[in-house]
Copies of this chain bind each other. A is one copy, B any other.
Amino acid sequence: MAKPFTITCPVPAGPADCVMLAHGGGGKLMHQLLEQCVLPVFDSRELEARHDGAVLDVGSTRLAFTTDSYVVSPLFFPGGDIGTLAVNGTVNDLAMCGARPLALSTAFIIEEGLSFDTLKRVLNSIAGAAREAGIKVVTGDTKVVDRGKGDGLFVNTAGIGVIEHEQVIAPASVRAGDAVLLSGDVGRHGVAIMAVREGLEFETTIESDCAPLAPPVHALLEGAIEIHCLRDLTRGGLATGLIEIAETSRLHIEIREQDVAVEENVRGACEILGLDPLYLANEGRFIAVVPEKQAARALEIMRNHAVSSAAFRIGSVTQAPASLVTLECCIGTRRILDMHSGEQLPRIC
């Protein structure tokens, strides 16, 4: 077997004392920002866990709590808009904690001059996506900023979910020998946004995969699958999601490139544009890490749901080399997946 090699990405040049666009990309710079600026200030076990949401014990109830702001540009794109994104993104973070979505807050920062039509379209999307995901919008806030001090509309959602099982679904629960399952093809959300932003046209429109992920997760829980870890693949894509798990669990994740599905259109766009589909954002894909002996049954359950009907096993967890993700390429070589410094496409969500 060939020795794995690393392709590293240089940190983009910029003033060292300022936040750059790449700090919001979900990659290395963002992790640096978190580790150097945010985490040392807060003495918070929940933040240190670096999970998609926090898990809280309130009396006899176990809650999941999560938040995300959405600054996607443009506001509307094939397969969704900032409203569907703001609901599904947060609902999916709850699902990744194994929680049943319960209540959602929505907060709007509107730039003066946004048309009521646009606002109503987004509000309707939020209401529709919330209905579909089975979560209720219970509280909210609206702020307006001067023209030129925003970008049309930013949306924040925070979500509360209830955890009704005893499993500890987190990177720390991952074990050597586990199987790594991927719920479907990757890269569609990133290319869909890119295509609208850059005016690219393909033979068929590439739609974002934006969708709620709670149903397959709950089916796995009800099917008595021992879920070790879940991660939805947003900013930073599949590669970053896997790297975060490998680093936190201090184990090795081995992935086969040929088993990671990428739609033909998406692959074509990536080749032309020099993008790597493994790092492209998704909004309706997740990985599930489960014990080897339950992998086949877990795949079967996932495939029963439209959103994860193309679920596939893409790799395994092993002991060493610790904290690394390696990719067995189609041509037989192996390479280490390294975290990008920023995001290939800024403001993707």
Contact = CB atoms under 8 A, between A and B. Distances in A.
A346 B146 contact: yes
A24 B142 contact: yes
Interface string A1-36: 000000000000000011111111100001001100
Interface in A65-117: 65-71, 73, 102-103, 105-117
A20 B67 contact: no
Contacts of A54: 103, 105, 138-139
Contact of A116 (B17, B120, B156): B17
Contacts of A108: 69
Contacts of A212: none
Interface residues of A, number: 79
A268 interface: no
A116 B29 CA distance: 13
Assembly of this chain: how many copies?
2
A148 interface: yes
A61 interface: yes
Give the most central of A65, A149, A158: most B CB within 10 Å: A158
A139 B19 contact: no
Interface in A136-160: 136-146, 148-151, 154, 156, 158, 160
A112 B149 CA distance: 12
A199 to B, nearest CB: 18
A256 interface: no
B103 A143 contact: no
A50 to B, nearest CB: 10
Contact of A103 (B56, B109, B116, B130): B56
23 contacts: A19-B110, A21-B112, A23-B142, A24-B110, A25-B144, A30-B142, A34-B142, A38-B123, A41-B120, A42-B126, A46-B136, A47-B137, A54-B103, A59-B61, A63-B160, A65-B138, A69-B141, A69-B143, A70-B143, A71-B109, A71-B145, A73-B149, A146-B347
Interface of A: 17-25, 30, 33-34, 37-38, 41-42, 44, 46-47, 53-54, 56, 58-61, 63, 65-71, 73, 102-103, 105-117, 119-120, 123-124, 126-127, 130, 136-146, 148-151, 154, 156, 158, 160, 162, 346-347
